[in-house]
Structures are given as structure tokens and as C-alpha cells.
């Protein structure tokens, strides 16, 4: 679906029902990882992007491929490597052999769902090729700005920074991700289920073979984004979000706290979470549920705190705990 196409009228309940059904479809191929699935749905609903981190083999790529199969939208995948160039993502001007003139050839970013696989295996210069696309939904090549299709979502995967051959994402790049979710190694019961599925013939390269079918469309996503705007946020909840952001700025363990943009991101996430739950108002619990995934990757520890083994998640939990919850 492109921006020039008309989005058919979709009711809020219909869009919510179909997008909620995506969770069950993904579960046909992916065992567990509920937090990551929830994060992807929240991002779809409020027009954000998701960064997924986990050790190799925790179903990061399979999760996005399963999400793609559950949505009737165009999907492309880019495998990020050290020699990947910005034009390999955005597209570039090429010479047409038939008439010798320059023509723009679209890169894989011109899609609805972009899987940026192992995004931190390419240098920052190439990572930055996604900045304009993620922030503004368009790319500029050779002085010409071109709009991307709608909806547009970047689902990026990365290995932990301590792994060999990875580059840290620049702060500006991290800030473009609405959410960062960590995919843990599955619990024993989930791992037994995974192996049982494989023993029964499951092939992770064949998502369709697992029975995953498209249950929601681009029109549902666009309709959801319109309806989320009607979710009410009380002054008390708005103040709660601001107080959490300000508490992080006052932490002696952090060199940088949550910016106003981060606070706005938390508001967007909480609204989407409330809408998916079938409510037209945001509660403090919605804010707390999304706070870590929305804010943790925007925080930077002071060097002395890192040396002491302090974790960002601990600092954020302390900041949230210090803020009175509105009643």
C-alpha cells in the first residue's frame, strides 16, 4: 500500500480483532517470546520501529518472518554485513544500458515491513542510511526525496554488543527505535516444546508450512494508527510519564536521562497498549508495562557506574519506583 492509495474504512473493533489475531498466528511458528510479539504489535499500531536483541538462535529472525506471514503487506529483508553500503538499503542512481540515462533503482527500504537482520554487523555510516527513513518515512537520494510506502515498519535484530564482529548503534540510531525488546533464552518448558516441534517435522525456513496465514492487512494497521489517537490520557498520567523521565535525569548513575522525545515515545506506546487491550484511556499500569522497552535503550551510564557493574535496567527500575503512582 502506498501513500497515494486510498485506505478503506475499517472499524476500530475490526482492526483490533484482526491485529490481536496476529499473536496467535505468530505462535504457530514461535514458542514464547511474548514480550517481543507485544512490542511488534505496539509498534505497528503507533507507527514506531522495534529493535530486538538476543543471542543467536533465540528466534529473532523467525519472529519477524512469522509476523510478515501473518500480515498481508510487502516485506523485504536486508542482511547487514560489514561491506554493506548505504545505497544497498535506500537505492541508488544507475545507468540504463538501453538508453544510457540515469534512473533511480529502489532499495529494499521501499516496503511495508523491513527486516534489518543483524543491524549491528555493519558500520555506523551504513546504519545511518535508515535514519531519515525511520524518522520521516522517506529517503533522499541524489537530491531527490522519495516517500516510502505506508505503513512502514523497521524490525531490526542485533546480537549483544559483547559478541565479536558487531558495532554499537549510534545514539541517534537507537533513538529512532520506539522499543527495544530483549529475547531471552527460552525457559525449559518452552525449549522442550521447540524441540518437540522440530522432532515432528517443523522447518523454521518454511513459516507457511507451520500454518501461519495472513489475518491482518495494511488497511487494518493504518486504521489502528488513526484510532489510537482517540485514546484519552489524563493529566495525572501525563504528569506520571514526565516525572519518570525527570527522575532518570536526576540519577547519578546516568550521563543522560530520558529526553522529551523519549517521554513522548512512552506516551505513544502506552496509548497503543491501551488500545490493543480494548480501552479508550491510558492507565499508570500501561505506562509501567512499556517503560523499560521504551526508555532503557535511550539511557547512557556514566563510566564509573559501568565499572561498578551497574545495569541500566536497575537504574530505570529505581527511577520508576521513586515516582508516586497516580490514583
CA distance 205 to 218: 24
pLDDT of residue 5: 44
pLDDT of residue 164: 65
CA distance 309 to 318: 15
Q: Is the dihedral of CA 200, 203, 208, 212 positive or negative?
A: positive
Question: Residue 201: what are its φ and ψ, rounded to 5°?
Answer: 110, 5
CA-nearest of 110, 87, 92, 91 to 102 is 92
Q: Are strands 75-79 and 113-117 parallel, antiparallel or unpaired?
A: parallel
222 to each of 107, 218, 274, how far by Cα in Å?
23, 6, 17
- Record the pTM: 0.86
pLDDT of residue 272: 95
Domains and CATH numbers, the chain: 12-224 (3.40.50.300), 229-321 (1.10.8.80)
At 236, which helix (H) or strand (E)? helix 235-249
CA distance 78 to 52: 15
Rounded to 10 degrees, the C-alpha dihedral 257/316/180/286 comes to -110
pLDDT of residue 247: 94
Residue 317 makes CB contacts below 8 A (sequence gap 6+) with 292
CA distance 69 to 25: 9
pLDDT of residue 127: 80
Q: Which residue has the cell 492509495?
A: 5
CA distance 33 to 185: 9
- Describe the crossing of helices 12-27 and 60-70 by its angle, rounded to 10 degrees: 140
pLDDT of residue 282: 96
pLDDT of residue 165: 66
Q: What is the pLDDT along the chain (327 residues), one digit of tens a residue?
A: 444 344 456 787 888 899 999 988 998 888 888 888 899 999 999 889 999 998 888 888 889 889 989 998 899 999 988 888 888 898 887 877 777 777 888 889 999 999 999 888 888 888 878 888 888 888 888 888 889 998 899 999 988 766 666 777 878 788 889 999 988 888 899 899 999 988 988 888 888 888 888 999 888 999 899 899 889 999 999 999 999 999 999 999 998 889 999 999 999 999 999 999 999 999 999 999 999 999 999 998 888 888 888 889 999 999 999 999 988
CA distance 98 to 327: 69
Amino acid at each position: 500500500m502506498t501513500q497515494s492509495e486510498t485506505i478503506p474504512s475499517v472499524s476500530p473493533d475490526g482492526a483490533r480483532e484482526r491485529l490481536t489475531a496476529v499473536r496467535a498466528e505468530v505462535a504457530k511458528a514461535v514458542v514464547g517470546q511474548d514480550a517481543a510479539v507485544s512490542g511488534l504489535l505496539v509498534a505497528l499500531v503507533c507507527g514506531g520501529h522495534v529493535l530486538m536483541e538476543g543471542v543467536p538462535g533465540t528466534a529473532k529472525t523467525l519472529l519477524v518472518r512469522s509476523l510478515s506471514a501473518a500480515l498481508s503487506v510487502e516485506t523485504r529483508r536486508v542482511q547487514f554485513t560489514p561491506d554493506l553500503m548505504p545505497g544497498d538499503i535506500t537505492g541508488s542512481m544507475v545507468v540504463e544500458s538501453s538508453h544510457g540515462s540515469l534512473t533511480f533503482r529502489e532499495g529494499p527500504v521501499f516496503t511495508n515491513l523491513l527486516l534489518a537482520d543483524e543491524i549491528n554487523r555493519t558500520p555506523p555510516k551504513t546504519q545511518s542510511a535508515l535514519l531519515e527513513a525511520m524518522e520521516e518515512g522517506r529517503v533522499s537520494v541524489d537530491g531527490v526525496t522519495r516517500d516510502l510506502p505506508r505503513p512502514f515498519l523497521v524490525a531490526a535484530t542485533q546480537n549483544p554488543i559483547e559478541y565479536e564482529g558487531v558495532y554499537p548503534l549510534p545514539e541517534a540510531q537507537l533513538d529512532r527505535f520506539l522499543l527495544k525488546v530483549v529475547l531471552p533464552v527460552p525457559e525449559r518448558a518452552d525449549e522442550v516444546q521447540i524441540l518437540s516441534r522440530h522432532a515432528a517435522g517443523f522447518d523454521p525456513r518454511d513459516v507457511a508450512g507451520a500454518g501461519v496465514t495472513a489475518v491482518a492487512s495494511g488497511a487494518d494497521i493504518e486504521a489502528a494508527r488513526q484510532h489510537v489517537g482517540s485514546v484519552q490520557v489524563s493529566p495525572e498520567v501525563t504528569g506520571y510519564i514526565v516525572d519518570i523521565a525527570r527522575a532518570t535525569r536526576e540519577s547519578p548513575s546516568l550521563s543522560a536521562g530520558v529526553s522529551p522525545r523519549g517521554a513522548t515515545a512512552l506516551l505513544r506506546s502506552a496509548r497503543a497498549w491501551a488500545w490493543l487491550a480494548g480501552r479508550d484511556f491510558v492507565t499508570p499500569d500501561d505506562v509501567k508495562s512499556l517503560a523499560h522497552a521504551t526508555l532503557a535503550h535511550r539511557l547512557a551510564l556514566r563510566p564509573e557506574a559501568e565499572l561498578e557493574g551497574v545495569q541500566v535496567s536497575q537504574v530505570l527500575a529505581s527511577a520508576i519506583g521513586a515516582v508516586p503512582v497516580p490514583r
